[in-house]
Chains A and B, each alone.
Chain A
Amino acid sequence: MSNKSYYSSITKKIIMSLMGLFLLTFLVVHLTVNSFLLVSKDLFNEGAHFMGTNAFIQVFQWVLFAGFAIHIFYGIVLQIQNWMSRPKGYKKRAAMEQSPFSKYMIYTGLVIFIFLIMHLNNFFFVKMGWVGHMPMTPSGEEDMGALVMALFHNGYYVFIYVVLILLMGFHLDHALQSAFQTLGLNHPTYWGFIKGLSRAYAIVVALGFAIIPLFIYFFK
């Protein structure tokens, strides 16, 4: 075999899985900061202020954007190849997948992408001063908490937010264990634990993100 650089299916999948695992860690950080809202708006603002000013986070956010871009790019490339590998489908095909949401990753991925655009438009672009208007606290600091609270008191917004987050949960259900399998980290002794961890992660993260707007809408 020649030594020319060649991106095999496995190489592309490994890149996908590493980026995916990176995005999973980001979601945990994001959820942690969001959960401050359940305590108080001021605590959330402190968290947002830290994330918005810390030099490491400022540099790392571009790494994060790159992570999203690479994950999305390879996700689409692999999916197109997969569609091409079966030009004619079956008349009758049973549900045979053992990881129930694995079949819909491209669609739940698309949902997350739409959510991401919506999310950037609502928060990140406002913070950057590209759209809308950032509210200020009496002491003259950015009031990210007020921006979030205003949106979380809009019933339509909360409904769409919660639905999209639950669809993201379906994506996450397959995510962690699939990444482990792709990286070759499947051992019969630990596989049950990894699958359980993957599902627990999806449930905790999806419910965590969904509870915050619901709590604010109904109780704050």
Chain B
Amino acid sequence: MDLKLKVWRQASPADQGKFVDYQVHDISPDTSFLEMFDILNDELVEKGEDPVAFDHDCREGICGMCSMFINGHPHGPEKATTTCQLHMRKFKDGDTIVVEPWRAKPFPVIKDLIVDRSAFDLIIQEGGYVSATTGGVPDANAIPINKENADLAMDAAACIGCGACVAACKNASAMLFVSAKVSQFALLPQGKVEAKERVKKMVAKMDELGFGNCTNTYACEAECPKEISITNIARMNRQFIGAKLS
């Protein structure tokens, strides 16, 4: 496959940045999107140019590091797929592909396609933990948990914190991420101890960091590579109302 790429290049956070056109040739349809960038970078290095900087780690769709905004979609147009699991067979020979970094005030560009997602860590620090008693390791089955809640908590915990929800949202709102993190604890008995404080603190931090307000467009759910449901946002809203009223 021969492809034309329009890639955002930005040397540093302070740099203006611009789109640069690249041509890649003889790409196998079985190449992953990131491998295609590896091929491009090899060529750039051979030519003595600066390779395109992009985030990646596991390349198995579970770490949440990859973060490209491809042809108008975070992680590309393929549903429930991270950039690393996206393959070139999903594109056509001769396609022009636009690749941009996540765009949001709390996610400043560090270089090229890499953005600083520490804002998510700061939100987690506010309440993404549970109280645990000291002493011996408790029996894993000592606390009964109904199957439905265990499943819902597991679904929420599937969030890899990649930031696609923020990138997709027209308001750059982090509600889907925060609600998934609130829900995974709120649904389980271990998380109930700090439930009220957690939701208040995490929402306050989210607002403070400059994420936008959710307007229920549900673009986040449509674009989430882990298909986190907007019912988590409703649950967080319920939790928030409950915490504020008590």
With A9-B213, A86-B212, A184-B234 in contact, is A92–B71 under 8 Å at CB? yes
Q: A10 interface residue, CB < 8 Å from B?
A: yes
Against A, the Cβ 8 Å flags (1 = close, 0 = not) of B210-235 are 11111111110111000000110111
A58-84 interface mask toward B, CB cutoff 8 Å, 1 = contact, 0 = none?
A: 000000000000000000001001101
A90 touches B230 (CB 8 A): no
Once the chains are docked, how many angstroms separate the CA of A12 from the CA of B240?
Answer: 12
A52 to chain B, nearest CB (A): 37
Majority SS of interface residues in chain B? mixed
Contact B218 A99 (CB under 8 A): yes
> Closest chain B residue to A87 by CB distance?
B105
Q: Is the CB of B213 within 8 A of A6?
A: no
B105, B170, B204, B231, most chain A CB atoms within 10 A: B170
Are A9 and B105 in contact, with the CB atoms below 8 A?
no
B78 at the interface (CB under 8 A from A): no
A25 CB within 8 Å of chain B: no
Known contacts A92-B98, A96-B73, A186-B230; A12 and B172 CB within 8 A of each other: no
> Once the chains bind, are B73 and A81 in contact (CB under 8 Å)?
no
Chain A contacts for B241, CB-based, 8 A: 10, 14, 183-184
What residues of chain B lie closer than 8 Å to A174, measured between beta carbons? 216
In chain A between 1 and 15, which residues have their CB closer than 8 angstroms to a CB of chain B?
1, 6, 8-14
Residues on B with beta carbons closer than 8 Å to the beta carbon of A182: 214, 216, 237
Q: Once the chains bind, are A82 and B212 in contact (CB under 8 Å)?
A: yes
- Report if A96-B223 is in contact (Cβ < 8 Å); known contacts: A9-B213, A11-B244: yes
* B234 engages A81 (CB within 8 Å): no
Docked pose: A111 CA to B118 CA in angstroms: 40
- Residues from chain B with Cβ under 8 Å of A105 in the complex: 215
Task: Enumerate chain A residues within 8 angstroms of B104, measured Cβ to Cβ.
Answer: 85-86
With beta carbons under 8 angstroms apart, the residue of A11, A13, A96 that contacts B219 is: A96
Q: For B210, list chain A residues within 8 Å (CB).
A: 84-85
Interface size on B, as a range, is 35 or more
B207 at the interface (CB under 8 A from A): yes
A186 and B103 within 8 A (CB): no
Please tell me the size bucket of the interface on A: 35 or more
Q: How far is the CB of A91 from chain B (nearest CB, A)?
A: 6
Assess whether B56 is interfacial by the CB under 8 Å rule.
Answer: no
A140 close to chain B: CB less than 8 A: no
Residues of B within 8 A of A183 (CB): 237, 241
Of B83-91, B184-192, B195-203, the one with at least 4 CB within 8 A of chain A: B195-203
Residues of A within 8 A of B71 (CB): 92, 94
Please, which residues of chain A bring their CB within 8 A of the CB of B234? 181, 184-187
Docked complex: A149-182 residues within 8 A CB-CB of B: 174, 177-178, 181-182
B8 nearest CB neighbor, chain A only: A91
Bound-state Cα–Cα, A89 to B240, Å:
30
Contact between A85 and B171, CB atoms less than 8 A apart: yes
Are B213 and A91 closer than 8 Å at their CB atoms? no
Q: Which residues of B are found within 8 Å of A82, using beta-carbon distances? A: 170-173, 212-213, 215
B22 CB within 8 Å of chain A: no
- Name 11 A/B residue pairs within 8 A (Cβ), A-sorted: A8-B204, A9-B203, A9-B207, A10-B237, A11-B244, A14-B237, A98-B217, A99-B217, A99-B218, A177-B216, A182-B216
* CB-based closest 5 A-B pairs: A184-B238, A94-B72, A186-B234, A85-B212, A98-B218
Residues of A within 8 A of B (CB): 1, 6, 8-14, 78, 81-82, 84-94, 96-99, 102-103, 105, 174, 177-178, 181-188, 191
Further pairs besides A8-B203, A84-B210, A97-B219: 17, Cβ < 8 Å: A1-B201, A8-B240, A13-B213, A13-B214, A85-B106, A85-B212, A86-B171, A91-B6, A91-B100, A96-B222, A96-B223, A98-B219, A102-B216, A102-B217, A184-B235, A184-B239, A186-B233
